[in-house]
Structure 1
C-alpha cells in the first residue's frame, strides 16, 4: 500500500502529496543529492520525532517536451489541499503548477536570448522557469512576500538566475521596460465581502474584473518597442455591455494612453482570445471548491454572496482567455491589430505558435500594403505553409467534392472551408505565380468573371496570410 511505500517515488508522494511523515532514512534515499540534513536546513522538511520527517512545503517535479526541446525542474510551493487534510486553505496559500499555469505556458511566445523578461504575479515561479529556457534576463514580481520567497527557492533549486521583487503589478519595477511581460494574474472575480476569503494567489482585492483592466492599460508603458505582454484573465459579460465591448473599451483606453505618451511614435497591437464563457452560478461553485472544503453553511453563504455580486452588475457570464499586447513603432501601412476572438469551439494545441503566426502575418500584410488595399495582394507570390493540407469530402461515385477544407496540422488543427476556386488558388501557391496570375487562370478555367472572382478570393487570401496558412515572400 502507498501508506507503507519505501521506494523513492512512493516516499516522495507520501511526503509532498499526502503530507505523511516518513522515515528519515527513506527520505534520504528518495533525495540522494539533496539529503535530509540539507532539506531540513532549507526548510523543505522538518524532523518530527521517532526518526521521521515531514514535508513543510510541496516539492513537485515539472517537465515539458515541445519544439524547444526537453526541460525538467522542481517547483516549490505550499502543501496542497490533500496534504492539509481537507478544510479551507490559508488565504496566503502559494500554488504550484496549476491549470492556469500550463495554459499560459502554451500561449507565451518564447523570448530571445539576452532579452529582458518580467514575470508578474510569479507565485512559485513556474512562468519564470519556462521563460528561462531561451536564456533571457529575468525579473519576477508578486504582491505576496510568501510567494516571492517560494519563487526564489524554486529558482535556486533549478539554477535559474531570477531577480525577485515584491510588489503589486508593476509597483516593483517603476519606469522599467521589458521585451516580454507575462502574468498569471490573480484574476478571479470575487465578491468584496468580509466573510468571503480572499486568496492572494487568485484574488487581487479589486472589484469585478478590474485587475485585468489595470493590467491591460498599464502593461504597454513597461514594454520596449517590439515587446510583447501576454497574460490570462477573467472578464465580465454584462447584460448592457458584452465582453467584446467591455474589453474593447479597455483596449482603446490603453492604445490612446500609449499614443499620448509617445506622441504617436508607437502603437499597440492587441489580440484577445476568449477560451471559455462560464455561467455565474457554475463559476461561483468552481471557485468556492477551489479553496478547499468549506462547511455547508459557509459554502452556501459564499455562494449567495457571489450571485448577489454578479446580479448587482448585471453579469450574465464570465469569460476566460489570453490577452496578447505588442508595442511597436507606428507605420501608416500597418494599422494596429485589433482582434477579439471567441475560440471556445476550438481545441488548441500550442497557442504560442498561433499567436506568433498571426502577428507575423499581420506585419507581412502591412509590408505589402494589403491591410489598406486588398489589390496589393495581386502582385504577391505566396507559398503554402508547411503542414497545411487539403481534405476533401466526396459522395461515392461523384467526381466533385461536396466540401473542401484547408487544415493546418502543425498547431491546433485550424480548419478553413474553401471554395473550389480558393482551393485551386492555394494549390498553386508555390512562389512561382502571382496571385493575380492565378486568379486570371482560374477565371478562364472556371468560366467565371475575373473581377468578380478577384473580389471573392482576395479577402480569403488576406485571412489565410493573417492566420499563417499562407506565407508571403520575406515573411518568417
Structure 2
C-alpha cells in the first residue's frame, strides 16, 4: 500500500508554486541577515522575531513556518497564492482564528552547498510550541541529521536505503546520487511527512512502514544510512515516557546493536552502511570492546568514531530538555530519577556518542577500528571516510615485502610544529607534532625519525629504500629500523598522513613540492 502525503496533490502543487522563488535558502538567509541567522542557530526565536517584522513575503513565510508566529490573514493569503487560504485551512496546513493565521507544521527551506533548494516538512519543535512534545512528534532538520548527511559517502549508487527516515532529509540527499531510494520508518505519521517532503521536491521514494530493516526483507542495497532512535535508557516506549523519533522501546543500546548486526547482510558486496549511534560505557568493559561485539566475525570492515562522552546525569538532562521538559517540574523529576536509577542498576558509567561506518568485504575477517574523534574536522567529511576505506583495503592486501615495495607520499598541507621548554641549559624541544590541514585533521606526536620518514615519502622511491636511507643516517641496522617503523607506517597510512601513490590525487600528493 502506497504512503500518501499529508495534503492533496493540488494543495502541494499550489504550495510549491507559492514558496519557490520567495522562500528558498538564499532568500531566507538574506531576510534574516547574519544577526538573524545567528539568533536562529542558538535557538533565540525572539531575536529572529525582531528581525522579521518588515512585512515582506519572505519574512511572513519565515514567521509562519519557521518561527511558528501568527500572521494577519491578509498577509498569509498573499504569500500562499496561488493556494487559496481557505484550501490551506481545510487541508490542515494552517489554522485561522480571529483574523490571524498560524502554521500547523514546520516547512523549512534547505540545501546542500551549491545545490538546489529543497523544502522539508516536520512538526514544529518545542522551542516554537513550548511544553513536552507529542509521543509521535516528527523531528525536522536537527544537528544529528546534519552530522549524518555530511558524513555520508556520496559516490553514485544504484540502490540506497534510509532506515528511520523521519521527515525524509537523508532521503533527499540520497536522491541526488542514487538510482532509487527506499525509506523505512515505524511511524506512519513520519512516513506521511516524508511523502510530503518528497512530493514538494518532485521526488519518488519507496516508503515502507516497519521497524529498522524488517520492511526490506532480504533485499540488498549499495548504501544504507540511518539516524535511528538511538537514545540509551530504560526502554521508554512512545506514549509511555518515550518519543517515536528518538526512543526505540528497547533497553540500553540494544537498538544500535541490532541495527549494526543486521546491516552487513542487507548490503551488496562492497556496499556501505552509515549510522549515528550511542553506546554504553561500563565500569568493567571499554567502549571499544562493547561496540566491536556488534559486528560479525567476517565480512565487514568498520570505522567507529566516538565524538563525545556524557556522564549519566548530563545525558539525561540533555534529552529531557530535547523533549521540551522543564527542570524542576514533577514530570522532569520523575523521568530524571527513573532514568538515572536504571543507569545505576545497569552499571552505566557513561554514554558514548558517535558515528559508525561499515563496508561489506566478502570473505575477509572483519576489521573494526574504534577511535576517539573529538576534534573539529573538514566538512563534508564523507570523502575522507571513503578514502579511509580505500586505504584500509590497500593495507589489508599488502604483505610486508609488498609494503616495502610500495611508494608512499605525504598528504598535502601537513604542518609540523614543535614546542620547547626552558631549562637550565636553555630551550629544549619537548614535543613535536604533525597536523593535517584537511580531512580528520589528526594531530600526532612524532620524534625526529618519524618526521624525517614522512618528509622523505615523496612518491618517488619505494618505502624500503626510504627506510634504508633513514637507517644509514642514524647509523642503525636496516632490519632494526624496518621492525621499529613499519607499525608506525601502517598507522600513518591509516590516519592519512601517508598515502599510497595509486590512491592519491594531485591535491593529496603534494605534487607541487
* Category of TM-score, reference length = shorter chain: 0.7 to 0.9
Q: 2 CA distance for matches of 1:179 and 1:408?
A: 31
Kindly indicate whether residue 269 of structure 2 is the aligned counterpart of residue 220 of structure 1.
Answer: no
Q: Trace 1:336-347 onto structure 2 (pairs within 5 A).
A: 336-344=366-374, 346-347=375-376
Query: CA separation in 2, counterparts of 1:191 and 1:140?
Result: 27
Aligned with 1:14 (options 63, 86, 90): 63
Q: Which residue of 2 aligns with 1:156?
A: 199
Shift of residue 83, structure 1, vs aligned partner: 3.0
Sort the Cα spacing of 1:2 and 1:217 in 2 relative to 1 into closer, same or farther, 3 A.
same
| Alpha-carbon RMSD | 2.7
Is structure 2 residue 474 aligned with structure 1 residue 446? yes
Match of 1:110 in 2: 154
Q: Deviations over 1:177-221 (max 9, x none)?
A: 100110000011233468952100000111111101110111111
Per the alignment, do residues 386 and 193 of structure 1 end up closer, same or farther by CA in structure 2, a change over 3 Å counting? closer
> Which has the larger displacement, 186-195 or 114-123?
186-195
Question: 2:383 is matched with which residue: 353, 374, 383?
Answer: 353
1:248 counterpart = 2:297: no
Cα distance between partner residues in 1 of 2:179 and 2:91: 27
Distance 1:96 1:445, change over 3 A: same
**Partner SS state of residue 452, structure 2:** helix
Q: Deviation at 1:38? A: 6.7
Q: Which moved more, 1:301-310 or 1:416-425?
A: 416-425
Residue correspondences, number: 450
Corresponding position of 2:408: 382
Q: Give 1:251-330 correspondences, 5 Å limit.
A: 251=295, 255-256=296-297, 267-294=299-326, 296-330=329-363
Q: Report what 1:132 is aligned to.
A: 175
Cα gap change, 1:31 to 1:413, in 2 (>3 Å):
farther
Identify the match of residue 274 of structure 2 among 211, 220, 230: 230
User: How much has 1:407 moved relative to structure 2?
Assistant: 2.2
Distance in 2 (CA, whole Å) between partners of 1:54 and 1:303 is 34
Residue deviations 1:362-407 (CA, integer Å, cap 9, x gap): 11112332xxx3x432111112233334445578999996544332
- Secondary structure of the structure 2 residue equivalent to 1:79: coil
Note the C-alpha offset of 1:87: 1.4
CA distance in 1, matches of 2:74, 2:224: 44
Q: Which range moved further: 119-128 or 188-197?
A: 188-197
Question: Contact conserved, 1:122 with 1:128, CA < 8 A, in 2?
Answer: yes
Q: Distance in 2 between matches of 1:33 and 1:387?
A: 53
Deviation string for 1:10-64 (max 9, x for gaps)? 31232123323213442355456767567557643344353x4321210112233
CA contact (8 A) 2:220 2:265 kept: yes
Query: CA separation in 1, counterparts of 2:454 and 2:82?
Result: 57
After TM superposition, the score normalised by the length of structure 2 is 0.81
CA distance in 2, matches of 1:314, 1:179: 38
CA apart distance, 1:227: 0.6
CA distance in 2, matches of 1:428, 1:35: 70
Identify the match of residue 168 of structure 1 among 211, 231, 237. Answer: 211
- Secondary structure in 2 matching 1:74: strand
Q: 2:18 maps to what in 1?
A: none
Is there any run of 5+ residues in structure 2 with no aligned partner, and where?
Answer: 1-49, 505-513
Which of 153, 177, 183 is equivalent to 2:226?
A: 183
Q: 1:458 to 1:240 in 2, by over 3 A?
A: closer
3-state DSSP of counterpart to 1:83: coil
